[in-house]
Structure 1
Amino acid sequence: MLKPKKKLTRKEIRRDPFLETIFTAQQWVKDRRKILSQIGTGLVVLILAAILLNNHRQQTHSLTATQLGQAILSMQNGDQENAEYILQLLVDEHGNTPDGLRATYLLGKLFYEEGKPDDALPLLRTYLDSGDNEIMLCNAAVLAAHILVAQGDLTAASEILQSAREDMSIADNRYRLDLELARVLEESPTTMEEARRVVDPLVNGRDVPVVIRRQAEEIYGRSLS
């Protein structure tokens, strides 16, 4: 019989980086007490503030990176409950940091896979607005488009894919978004011709991956029938 998985507690997945920073700064001052006694109080305060700010930023990044790693490991192990818990913490407490934004994407993806589109879509939109990882941006656009198509909003789905494509520097990501856009467009008879126009470069392009080319050819063929 399988044992239930142990749920990580908040204490286990986080430490207080600010308190650790305070301790580090206090130790720094203690070690340099003689030198600092010869310096004006105002300058000491500025030095201490700079140390606190720099160390706090470094330790916060270290903490969020650790939490993100724990969440990804939980997802790989099939422990969705812990993954969701950790990712939600990151989103709530560090949502504007790079790791917090990556957690936003991963939580949106997790909700999508769990069949919770209403929870997934706002997170995916947030990442599309503020994220910086091109692969994640591409995936977020595709997932968001799938949700919007299921909701019957083909226009919004098309707009998300077109907007994301403009930010792509990797050709394969542009090809993928073009293919997804064509799939959205072929959902409506009124935009079938536009779908054919979108996939035409994928069918005839020299550097298009075989998998994408074949799917583009299928869409092209359907657009002619």
Structure 2
Amino acid sequence: MLKPQKKKITKKALKEDKFVEAALNAKTYLEENSKQVMIVVGVVLALIILIILYRNHQQTRDLKAATLLGLAQVEYQNMNYAKARQFLNQLLEDYDGTDAADQGYFVLANLNYQQGKYEEAEAAFKKFIDSYDGSKILKASGLAGYAACLEHRGAHQEAAEYYLKAQKTAPDFVEAANYLYLAGRNFLKAGQKDKAKKAFETVIKKYEKSNRANDAKAQLIIMAEEK
């Protein structure tokens, strides 16, 4: 009499059994907890919708801010300063924190400086250099603008340091030699002759073809004669 053979259970069959078991367990869980599951799904969908709405809102906000900045720059270039200030004020009040607003502080600072409002210019330049993290050339210009405000009120040591920062931020910028030369001049006025000498020597060495190279040489000659 033949003995019944045991059916060999393969790995594939085991996997299929586990899958079936998991599917049945999931079905049972969903049936028993359908309300809770629907709540979770609803929350996730709501979050997704909120993220999409926020991104769309942010894009619209950035576009409006950029438009105001463009209008302000056009009016500034055309020397319609009152109109430029109006656009800038609206930009900074309604869209502070956007990239356009950061750049708006730079335009406002230049406008204030040009109109002799040095305290307001200094505050706007400081706001710009603290918040802006884009173009190195624009950042260097902002640092130099802030330095000019400090120089105007006689803070020569601090002005020199910021002119130096401006030069180091964008060393290949066309104004870099001028920034370094002005750093030297302000170090000299602050009584920091060694730092002034180093700045002038660097102008001559690094920017020998610039107009400021001859000015730096002249300053070194004057310093040597005063010893």
Q: Same fold (TM over 0.5)?
A: yes
Alignment of 1:167-206 (within 5 A): 167-168=169-170, 170=172, 172=174, 174-188=176-190, 190-205=191-206
The answer to whether structure 1 residue 57 and structure 2 residue 80 are counterparts is: no
| Aligned residues of 2:147 and 2:159 also touching (Cα < 8 A) | yes
- Secondary structure of 1:152's match? coil
- Secondary structure of 2:170's match? coil
**Structure 1 segments unaligned to the other structure (5+ residues):** 1-39
- Worse-matched range after superposition: 54-63 or 195-204: 195-204
Alignment of 1:60-139 (within 5 A): 60-132=61-133, 133-139=135-141
Change (3 A) 1:171 1:83: closer
In 1, the alpha carbon distance for the partners of 2:171 and 2:208 equals 15
Amino acid of the residue matched to residue 78 of structure 1?
Answer: M
| Aligned residues of 2:177 and 2:210 also touching (Cα < 8 A) | no
In 2, the alpha carbon distance for the partners of 1:67 and 1:166 equals 31
Q: How far off is 1:165 after superposition? A: 4.1
Change (3 A) 1:108 1:41: same
The answer to whether structure 1 residue 152 and structure 2 residue 154 are counterparts is: yes
Sequence identity (%): 20
Q: CA RMSD in A?
A: 2.2
| Aligned residues of 1:108 and 1:123 also touching (Cα < 8 A) | yes
Alignment partner, residue 213 of structure 1: 213
TM-score scaled by length of structure 1 = 0.72
| Aligned residues of 1:178 and 1:198 also touching (Cα < 8 A) | yes
**Structure 2 segments unaligned to the other structure (5+ residues):** 1-40
TM-score scaled by length of structure 2 = 0.72
Higher relative contact order (CA 8 A, sep 6+): 1
Rg: which structure is higher? 2
